[in-house]
Chains A and B, each alone.
Chain A
Amino acid sequence: AQSVTQPDIHITVSEGASLELRCNYSYGATPYLFWYVQSPGQGLQLLLKYFSGDTLVQGIKGFEAEFKRSQSSFNLRKPSVHWSDAAEYFCAVAINTNAGKSTFGDGTTLTVKP
């Protein structure tokens, strides 16, 4: 069975600083990987996804993620964080294109200092 680990429960960065959120997955075959953001009182929103091809994927809101098969990682990055990025971020893995059956990590809460 597949699994996802997000090692950082809580991260605090200053506004304008760069951000990297870590995600490690466990799955024997080619994974389908996703990053979602959840703001208080709102549902999850897809930031980006990786299925195949270029290992650096671009998403919405200026986010990008890099797939590294050798490290079983799919880390999320943003060069300059805005206060509105404060939220909870979830990494997820699916075994095929049916994203509706995804396995999620436990999330990383991002706090942005002014």
Chain B
Amino acid sequence: ETGVTQSPTHLIKTRGQQVTLRCSSQSGHNTVSWYQQALGQGPQFIFQYYREEENGRGNFPPRFSGLQFPNYSSELNVNALELDDSALYLCASSLGGRGSYNEQFFGPGTRLTVL
């Protein structure tokens, strides 16, 4: 059973560019959550996808968008990059279901630097 993987590990972009980050869920998991972790801060919830549908969103602007594929892997897209978007982006997968708790497992993250 493979864990949660993310690609790329590191990424450097310039202001105004667009970026796509990828996450492969743990085998059997149908839910993916994305978080932004700025330096010296805790992770902040961006959004969650459950069975290819968005299932909740945090306080992030629309230029942060996502996608979940039939195999439950996921992408995070950020348009019009700003310097403040520099952060570690974490994804976490779990086996979701109405009213049930299932542990979320985190990937190692993608370090995005915006210059």
Contact = CB atoms under 8 A, between A and B. Distances in A.
Contact of B43 (A42, A44, A46, A98): A44
What band does the interface of chain B fall in when counting residues whose beta carbon is under 8 Å from A? 20 to 34
Contacts of A103: 45
A6 B35 CA distance: 19
Interface in A36-64: 41-46, 49, 51
A98 B58 CA distance: 14
Contacts of A44: 43, 90, 92, 106
B21 to A, nearest CB: 14
Interface stretch (B63-71, B77-85, B97-105): B97-105
A100 B44 contact: no
A53 to B, nearest CB: 13
What band does the interface of chain A fall in when counting residues whose beta carbon is under 8 Å from B? 20 to 34
B94 A99 contact: yes
Nearest to B48: A100
B48 A101 contact: yes
21 contacts: A6-B42, A32-B101, A41-B108, A43-B4, A44-B43, A44-B92, A44-B106, A90-B43, A92-B42, A97-B100, A97-B101, A98-B56, A99-B102, A100-B33, A100-B96, A101-B45, A101-B56, A104-B35, A106-B40, A106-B41, A107-B42
Interface of A: 4, 6, 32, 41-46, 49, 51, 90, 92, 96-107
Interface of B: 4, 31-33, 35, 40-45, 48, 56, 58, 90, 92, 94, 96, 99-109
